[in-house]
């Protein structure tokens, strides 16, 4: 049974707090193992990478065999069903179109004091993309991680993907080709993260690593942070559906289960003001659970982490949504825009009764890499900006420097930074230049 909360009950605030704080994932104690692997890859390069790949993926490679050839990638693509490839291309085109609109503008102006100011955006030089192997190998995630980098103008996008026992998912490789990934290496785990961060003889180092992975990969990304940039560490997927009684309960049940089927740690929450509707959704979930291929995973998720929150009025929803700060928020109500305007914290908002979250996972266009575990309070989904950086630009001439100098010198003096003051004063023949 999912959690049941009712905002009209006196213990609601406390129960909601407990629900919010509940951990959905056990933190695996992998830090030490990962540190060892990273140190070995840093010191030994390819040799360590090959050794760990043999140990963890049961795959014996040479350095030359690490990188997939163009022929291998083309062969993989040829092995895919044409209609799936076509769907990937439709998705890629839509994702690219949306992300192009995120490209930022440079700034260059002269202010009233005659100082020229601005900023300039440039793409990072090389991005690393981690793609999990096995069941979590999603071609859609390859598109969602690689396309923003390509749109940003990153010249080099290096992908790593483990091939346990030599197996690779052809669709993942096809997605890499479609997304313009420039290099693919058949390695994974902390050792692949180390190779991307430190570089080996075969794999040149990158400047930033993105993409989801297991506990070892997440720990490795955290440990190399600073050597390279990383994206946010992703947690289990979440959906929060705010629905009035005007919805078909089977539709809402399907939406809740579309997150629950991801894994047993996923979370699906319904907020509604209609008690009878809540009961209907509960029954529809029970029925659909019996019809799903991944029904047992979805059942575990719904039972352990699912929740139905009853409110007296949907006016109460925005405050609860902002506390939950969901990765995905569906507003299945008559006036979704009005409700959305009152909400601050959500990774992506799906407006109205005909916008199931799953459409955003694949083809809508916005990124499906979104902040989880309440990070939507402060973080955003993956975007073109994650693959660019901004240099600020300042230019003075003697006149404008002279106009700024008194305040700057006063502050440098107040902070006891003598040489700071002097570097300004010396250009203007001021007293202590």
Name residues whose C-beta falls within 8 Å of residue 335's C-beta, 6 or more positions apart in sequence: none
The residue from 13, 26, 71, 135 that contacts a second copy (CB under 8 A) is 135
Nearer to a second copy, 128 or 188 (CB): 128
Asked if 328 is an active-site residue, the reply is yes
C-beta of 97: minimal distance to a second copy in Å? 7
What b/e sequence results for 368-392 when a residue is b if at least 16 CB atoms lie within 10 Å of its CB, and e otherwise?
A: bbbbbbbbbeebebbbbebbbeeee
The Cα 192–Cα 405 span in angstroms is 51
Assess 203 for contact with a second copy (CB under 8 A): no
Assess 366 for contact with a second copy (CB under 8 A): yes
| 382-421: contacts with a second copy (CB under 8 A) | 383, 385, 389-398, 400-401, 404-408, 410-412, 414-421
Name residues whose C-beta falls within 8 Å of residue 215's C-beta, 6 or more positions apart in sequence: 27, 28, 30
Strands 107-110 and 116-123, sheet pairing:
antiparallel
Assess 226 for contact with a second copy (CB under 8 A): yes
Assess 319 for contact with a second copy (CB under 8 A): no
The residue from 83, 191, 193, 249 that contacts a second copy (CB under 8 A) is 83
Asked if 368 is an active-site residue, the reply is no
C-beta of 101: minimal distance to a second copy in Å? 6
- DSSP for 60-113, written as a single string: ---GGGSBPPHHHHHHHHHTS-HHHHHHHHHHHHHHHHHHHTTPPPPEEEE-TT
Assess 424 for contact with a second copy (CB under 8 A): yes
Assess 344 for contact with a second copy (CB under 8 A): yes
Residue 51 near residue 36 (C-beta atoms within 8 A): no
Assess 151 for contact with a second copy (CB under 8 A): no
Residue 38 near residue 220 (C-beta atoms within 8 A): yes
Strands 208-210 and 3-6, sheet pairing:
unpaired
Q: Is 214 annotated as a binding residue?
A: yes
Q: Which of 77, 261, 280, 327 is catalytic?
A: 327
316: closest CA among 7, 18, 3? 7
Q: Is 429 annotated as a binding residue?
A: no
Tokens of 264: 């047993």
Coil, strand or helix at 119: strand
| 170-199: contacts with a second copy (CB under 8 A) | 171
Q: Using the rule CB under 8 A, give the single segment among 6-14, 40-48, 136-144, 159-167 that binds a second copy.
A: 136-144
H or E element in which residue 12 lies? helix 12-21
Q: Using the rule CB under 8 A, give the single segment among 35-43, 137-145, 179-187, 272-280 that binds a second copy.
A: 137-145
Q: Is 191 annotated as a binding residue?
A: yes
Binding-site residue total for a second copy (CB under 8 A)? 125
What phi and psi, each to the nearest 5 degrees, are found at residue 54?
Answer: -65, -40
Assess 303 for contact with a second copy (CB under 8 A): no
| 152-171: contacts with a second copy (CB under 8 A) | 171
Assess 346 for contact with a second copy (CB under 8 A): yes
Nearer to a second copy, 58 or 344 (CB): 344
The residue from 49, 211, 356, 384 that contacts a second copy (CB under 8 A) is 356
The residue from 16, 98, 130, 277 that contacts a second copy (CB under 8 A) is 98
Residue 310 near residue 272 (C-beta atoms within 8 A): yes
Assess 350 for contact with a second copy (CB under 8 A): yes
Which segments are annotated as binding site for substrate?
237, 259, 262, 328, 361, 415, 420
Q: Give the catalytic positions in this structure.
A: 327-328
């Amino acid at each position: 049974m999912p959690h049941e909360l009712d905002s009209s009950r006196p213990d609601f605030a406390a129960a909601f707090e407990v629900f919010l704080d509940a951990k959905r994932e056990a933190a695996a104690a992998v830090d030490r193992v990962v540190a060892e692997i990273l140190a070995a890859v840093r010191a030994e390069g390819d040799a360590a990478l090959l050794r760990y790949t043999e140990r963890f993926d049961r795959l014996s490679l040479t350095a030359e065999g690490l990188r997939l050839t163009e022929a291998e990638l083309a062969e993989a693509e040829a092995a895919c069903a044409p209609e799936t490839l076509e769907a990937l291309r439709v998705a890629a085109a839509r994702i690219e179109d949306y992300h192009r609109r995120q490209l930022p503008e440079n700034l260059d102006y002269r202010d009233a004091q005659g100082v020229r100011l601005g900023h300039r955006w440039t793409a990072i030089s090389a991005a690393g993309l981690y793609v999990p192997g096995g069941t979590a190998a999603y071609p859609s995630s390859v598109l969602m991680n690689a396309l923003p980098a390509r749109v940003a103008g990153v010249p080099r996008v290096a992908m790593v993907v483990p091939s346990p026992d030599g197996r690779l998912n052809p669709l993942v490789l096809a997605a890499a080709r479609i997304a313009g990934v420039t290099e693919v290496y058949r390695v994974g785990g902390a050792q692949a993260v180390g190779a991307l961060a430190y570089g080996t003889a075969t794999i040149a180092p990158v400047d930033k690593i993105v993409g989801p992975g297991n506990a070892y990969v997440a720990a490795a990304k955290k440990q190399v942070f600073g050597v390279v940039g990383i994206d946010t560490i992703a947690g289990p997927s979440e959906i929060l559906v705010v629905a009035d009684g005007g919805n078909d309960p089977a539709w809402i049940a399907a939406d809740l289960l579309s997150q629950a089927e991801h894994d047993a740690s996923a979370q699906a929450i319904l907020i509604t003001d209609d008690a009878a509707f809540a009961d209907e959704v509960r029954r529809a979930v029970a029925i659909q659970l019996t019809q799903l291929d991944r029904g047992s995973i979805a059942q575990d998720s719904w039972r352990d982490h699912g929740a139905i929150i009853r409110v007296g009025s949907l006016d109460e929803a925005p405050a609860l949504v902002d506390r939950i700060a969901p990765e995905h928020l569906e507003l299945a109500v008559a006036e979704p825009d009005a409700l959305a305007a009152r909400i601050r914290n959500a990774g992506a908002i799906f407006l109205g009764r005909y916008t199931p979250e799953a459409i955003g996972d694949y083809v809508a266009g916005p990124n499906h890499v979104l902040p989880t575990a309440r990070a939507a309070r402060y973080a955003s989904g993956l975007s073109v900006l994650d693959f660019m950086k901004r240099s600020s630009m300042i230019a003075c001439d003697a006149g404008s420097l002279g106009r700024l100098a008194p305040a700057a010198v006063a502050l440098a003096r107040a902070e006891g930074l003598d040489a700071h003051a002097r570097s300004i004063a010396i250009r203007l023949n001021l007293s202590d230049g």
